Amino acid sequence: MFSIEHEFDSSVVTLVDDGKKPLQEDIIINAFAECITVEQYDVRTDTVQKVTLSISQLNDLSAALDLPEGVYQLKPK
* Cα 71 to Cα 27, 42, 55, distances in angstroms: 28, 31, 19
pLDDT at 3: 94
H or E element at residue 37: strand 35-42
Give the integer Cα–Cα distance in Å for 73 and 36: 20
Give the integer Cα–Cα distance in Å for 30 and 33: 10
pLDDT at 45: 97
pLDDT at 76: 78
Could you read off the pLDDT of 12-69 as tens digits, one per residue? Answer: 999 999 988 989 999 999 999 999 999 999 999 999 999 999 999 999 999 898 888 8
pLDDT of 72 above 80: yes
- Please give the span between the terminal C-alpha atoms of the chain, in angstroms, as a whole number: 35
